[in-house]
Amino acid sequence: MANDFNNVILIGRLTRDAELKYTATGTAVAKFGLAVNRKRKQGDEYIDEVSFIDITAWAKLAENLSQYLTKGKQIGVCGELRQDRWEKDGQNHSKVGVTANAIQLLGGKSDGGQLEQQAPPQKPSASAPEQGEFLDDIIPF
């Protein structure tokens, strides 16, 4: 008998800022929406299609990244599909979302148009060029 496998990888943009809350037992949970775009050909034209997916992150992942998960930010998510089921007014409902196992911040610019700083700046050595002297040669945009 083969083992089942549930893994999804998505790259998209956040539709809203992450909302960080804590459960009654103190576990952090962050919830946010992701828009994933794709183009498909219909006749001679390409049509944009968007899928909106609800993402949930738990514990340290939620605490560590929630402050960076802001609307419009491009991210990569690796996680598992989860189906929520409930009954309301006698009708059965269900919704599929993703529980994140890993989140990668993507893109190179922040909302202000400045390059994001990925690591703390290092003190230049005596022979090092001035900060930004070769920046135009390194960054292609």
Q: Is residue 140 part of a domain?
A: no
Q: Is residue 12 part of a domain?
A: yes
How far is it, in rounded angstroms, from Cα 70 to Cα 119? 19
Q: pLDDT band for position 103 (50/70/90)?
A: very high
What is the DSSP-derived secondary structure letter of residue 108? S
Nearest to residue 83, comparing CAs of 70, 69, 97?
97
Per-residue pLDDT, 119: 40
Judged against a pLDDT cut of 70, whether residue 32 lies above it is answered with yes
Nearest to residue 17, comparing CAs of 64, 73, 63?
73
Q: What is the mean pLDDT of residues 102-107?
A: 92
Q: What is the mean pLDDT of residues 22-50?
A: 93
Give the model confidence (pLDDT) of 51-75 as tens digits. Answer: 999 999 999 999 999 999 999 999 9
Q: Is residue 3 part of a domain?
A: no
Per-residue pLDDT, 2: 78
Q: Is residue 106 part of a domain?
A: yes
Give the model confidence (pLDDT) of 72-96 as tens digits. Answer: 999 999 999 999 999 999 999 999 9
The domain spanning residue 88 has which CATH number?
Answer: 2.40.50.140
How far is it, in rounded angstroms, from Cα 35 to Cα 13? 5
Q: Which pTM does this prediction carry?
A: 0.70
Domain of residue 63 covers: 8-111
Per-residue pLDDT, 109: 56
Q: Is residue 39 part of a domain?
A: yes
Tell me the β-bridge partners of 26: none
Number of structural domains found in the chain: 1
For residue 78, which amino acid is it? C
Nearest to residue 100, comparing CAs of 36, 51, 57, 42?
57
Per-residue pLDDT, 81: 95
Q: Is residue 133 part of a domain?
A: no
Q: What is the mean pLDDT of residues 27-49?
A: 93
Per-residue pLDDT, 55: 96
The strand pair at 45-58 and 8-14 is best described as unpaired
